[in-house]
Chain A
Amino acid sequence: MNKRLIIGGAIILIAVLLAFSAFKGSLTAYVDYDEARQLNRNCQVMGEIVKEHVNYDLSSGTLQFPITDESGNIMQVSYAGLVPGNFEQASSVVAIGRYRDDRFEANQLLVKCPSKYQGLEEQGEENPHEAKIKTGGA
């Protein structure tokens, strides 16, 4: 092998690795929950919906639910806007908003839906693992 080629390749590899490590945090718009609590501005948090604790608060007109991340941290989210049509099928959500008074006040919800191209889900078939949104008072 050509010596110059190896050295050149090594330099490129190191440069690329350095660039990646520098941009690691900027490659994703989603911040972790601790960071979201500190940030005094709009940000995005992502997590799995805790289906058992989804609650629609009629008095304030907000959807309340906790989300958890991969390491088990929990963040309480409240959302006052129009609930996305596919929220019930969603496994994870991205909440866009800011942390205020012990909870993340979202002004937009993005939902992650299971992608199904196999056509197994026919009309009327329901997933038993999905809880319906419960409605309750304050």
Chain B
Amino acid sequence: MWWKYLIGLLMTGMIIAVFTLPPPQTVIGDASRIFFFHVPAALLGFLSFAAAAIFGVIYLKNRQPSADRRAAVAAEIGLTATVIATISGAIFAKVTWGAYWNWDPRQTTILGVLLIYAAYFALRQAVADRQARARLSAVYILVGGAIAPFLFFVLPRLYSSLHPKDSLVSGQGQFVLTLPVALTFAASLIAFTLLGLWLFQLADRAERIKEELEIKGDYTRLPRTIPYWP
């Protein structure tokens, strides 16, 4: 429970710090502050996909419906975070490069990630049988998890790209952020990751309640305020 208060404090402090501590960049000015939201969103996306793959492995080992449900919830958060990273990245690109989308390798690979995980939910929709769905999705999310690191980290670095590679560590291997900027950045990474964890907890609980009600067929227990379509 305590860490949820911490998220509130961290998020507030981080947002204030983002707009006060780092000086505006010489070239693009205040727009550079997108960095502190764009990078953590991408990181949360990647971590969620990694978590989804781990839940996929757990499902294949113990065949518990809970693992299947958690894999889906993690993938959902990952997809949302990656969409946020993509959109903020396109806005960032417009400001720095001059175009929202020009099929830079970084943009092509992140689109690949989005398609892979969108297809995961299409797969889940397509299989009616619970166990077959869980088994197939577990294998799929595992394969997705094997490909994601390449699309996130490896491939964009193999091509020349407009996307910066040296915002954190310079070409000479030196850490380039000053202490206040580094602290702001660290706070934003931690805040986003913890927020993702909290979202995961909430969404998982909601899904569990939904599943339990479906299995029992006892819809009368649903509170009146929640709209319900049979």
Residues of A at the B interface (CB closer than 8 Å) are 12-13, 16, 20, 26-30, 44, 46, 69-70, 84, 86, 89, 92, 94, 96, 108-122
Is B178 a contact partner of A112 (Cβ separation < 8 A)?
A: no
Q: Which residues from B are CB-within-8-Å of A110?
A: 97-99, 102, 162
Is B97 a contact partner of A111 (Cβ separation < 8 A)?
A: yes
Q: Which residues from A are CB-within-8-Å of B105?
A: 27-30
Interface string of B85-108 (1 = CB under 8 A from A): 000000000001111001111001
B19 within 8 Å of A by Cβ? no
Within 8 A of A (CB), among B135-163: 143, 146-147, 150, 155, 159-162
Within 8 A of A (CB), among B14-62: 22-23, 25-28, 32, 35
In the complex the two chains form, what is the Cα distance from A84 to B96 in whole Å? 10
Q: Which residues from A are CB-within-8-Å of B102?
A: 29, 44, 94, 96, 110
B181 within 8 Å of A by Cβ? yes
Is A108 a contact partner of B98 (Cβ separation < 8 A)?
A: yes
Partner of B162, one of A86, A112, A119: A112
Q: Given A30-B159, A110-B99, A121 and B164 touching (CB < 8 A)?
A: no
Q: Which residues from A are CB-within-8-Å of B28?
A: 86, 113
Is A27 a contact partner of B108 (Cβ separation < 8 A)?
A: yes
B109 within 8 Å of A by Cβ? yes
In the complex the two chains form, what is the Cα distance from A130 to B162 in whole Å? 19
A-B contact pairs, 25 of them (CB 8 A): A12-B143, A16-B146, A20-B150, A20-B155, A27-B108, A27-B159, A28-B105, A29-B104, A29-B105, A29-B108, A30-B159, A86-B28, A89-B27, A94-B104, A109-B98, A112-B96, A115-B164, A115-B166, A116-B27, A117-B181, A117-B185, A118-B177, A118-B178, A119-B178, A121-B25
Is B109 a contact partner of A27 (Cβ separation < 8 A)?
A: yes
Q: Which residues from A are CB-within-8-Å of B167?
A: 115, 117
Q: Which residue of B lies closest to A121 (CB)?
A: B26
Residues of B at the A interface (CB closer than 8 Å) are 22-23, 25-28, 32, 35, 96-99, 102-105, 108-109, 143, 146-147, 150, 155, 159-162, 164, 166-167, 176-178, 181, 185
In the complex the two chains form, what is the Cα distance from A28 to B155 in whole Å? 10
Is A117 a contact partner of B26 (Cβ separation < 8 A)?
A: no
Chain A nearest Cβ from B164, distance in angstroms: 4
Q: Which residue of B lies closest to A86 (CB)?
A: B27
Q: Which residues from B are CB-within-8-Å of A27?
A: 105, 108-109, 155, 159
In the complex the two chains form, what is the Cα distance from A27 to B61 in whole Å? 35
In the complex the two chains form, what is the Cα distance from A91 to B150 in whole Å? 27
Partner of A28, one of B26, B98, B108: B108
Q: Which residues from B are CB-within-8-Å of A118?
A: 176-178, 181
Q: Which residue of B lies closest to A96 (CB)?
A: B102
In the complex the two chains form, what is the Cα distance from A20 to B156 in whole Å? 13
Chain B nearest Cβ from A42, distance in angstroms: 12
In the complex the two chains form, what is the Cα distance from A92 to B28 in whole Å? 16
Chain A nearest Cβ from B108, distance in angstroms: 5
Q: Given A113-B96, A117-B22, A28 and B159 touching (CB < 8 A)?
A: yes
Q: Which residues from B are CB-within-8-Å of A29?
A: 102-105, 108
Q: Which residues from A are CB-within-8-Å of B162?
A: 46, 92, 94, 110, 112
Q: Which residue of A lies closest to B23 (CB)?
A: A119
In the complex the two chains form, what is the Cα distance from A33 to B176 in whole Å? 33
